[in-house]
Amino acid sequence: MAGRGKKYRDAVATVEPGSKLEPSAAIEKVKQMAYAGFDETVDVVFRLGVDPRKADQIVRGTVVLPAGTGRTVRILVLAEGDPAREAEEAGADYVGTEYIEKIEGGWLDFDVAIATPDLMKDVGKLGRVLGPRGLMPTPKAGTVTMDVGRAVSEAKAGKIEFRVDRTGNVHAPIGKVSFEAARLMENFDAIADAIVRNKPSAAKGTYVKTVTVSSTMGPGVSIDPNLFRRAR
């Protein structure tokens, strides 16, 4: 634990080594241990029994967190005509095709990009810029659509995208430390259910191996996978 501050070490000391809690108790523990001078994000990590190198074992999807993410989401909609007007009415922060050129010039002041299918021939050339940052609109994420009003509303309400990384983990935010524990639990249940629903048919053995919840600066708290699965 070299290099860790005293507050972190004090927080770790309150966690019994090897302990695995039920989800609500783990969330309460994370809230109690939070010590940073800002409203930390609460994250959950699911370690899955899949091989991400195989296309038929990729776990990815989207979910709308019922209690929201606790952060303001800046939404860009690349559309024109009626879809553009619909996006503006839904509360999109930036709307229009002129932003394609702005992105090529280095502008990236947004958190979610949504595009209509007819513009993907132009948006596609932004893949090298947006792809590595997780900002590229995709049909699977529901961000390439003609129903831009709904897409904007869902993004504002707390829609997130998740995808297993190359080490077999799925990371997802479930809110802020300032959230009531019940709200964090609602979001935890939503992402957990989404991950279970997206279990690849090719996955063998134990699917959810470990579950860990933590705040931005705090230590992780392990959740008992058996307790996590009890209602699923």
CATH number of the domain enclosing 211: 3.30.190.20
Indicate if 61 and 170 belong to the same structural domain. yes
CB distance 219 to 209 below 8 Å: no
Residue 4 falls within a domain, yes or no? no
What is the SS3 assignment for 81?
coil
pLDDT at 12: 79
Q: Taking residues 42-62, report their average pLDDT.
A: 95
Domain boundary among 131, 156, 181: 156
Name the residue with higher pLDDT: 204 or 10.
204
Query: Which range marks the domain in which residue 195 is found?
Result: 15-68+159-228
Indicate if 171 and 182 belong to the same structural domain. yes
Give the burial class of 131: count Cβ atoms within 10 A of its Cβ; 0-12 exposed, 13-18 middle, 19 or more buried: exposed
Indicate if 36 and 50 belong to the same structural domain. yes
Indicate if 83 and 58 belong to the same structural domain. no
- Domain at 130, CATH number: 3.40.50.790
Indicate if 25 and 85 belong to the same structural domain. no
Sequence-distant (≥ 6) Cβ neighbours of residue 105 within 8 angstroms: none
Indicate if 60 and 170 belong to the same structural domain. yes
Indicate if 36 and 146 belong to the same structural domain. no
Q: Taking residues 177-184, report their average pLDDT.
A: 97
- Domains identified in the chain, total number: 2
- Is residue 5 over pLDDT 90? no
158 residue type, one letter? G
Domain boundary among 156, 191, 208: 156
- Is residue 2 over pLDDT 90? no
Domain boundary among 107, 131, 156: 156
- Is residue 231 over pLDDT 50? no
- Is residue 121 over pLDDT 80? yes
pLDDT digits over 155-165, tens only?
A: 999 999 999 99
Q: Taking residues 126-142, report their average pLDDT.
A: 93
Q: What is the CA radius of gyration of the chain?
A: 19
Sequence-distant (≥ 6) Cβ neighbours of residue 208 within 8 angstroms: 46, 47, 48, 49, 195, 196, 225, 228, 229
Indicate if 182 and 215 belong to the same structural domain. yes
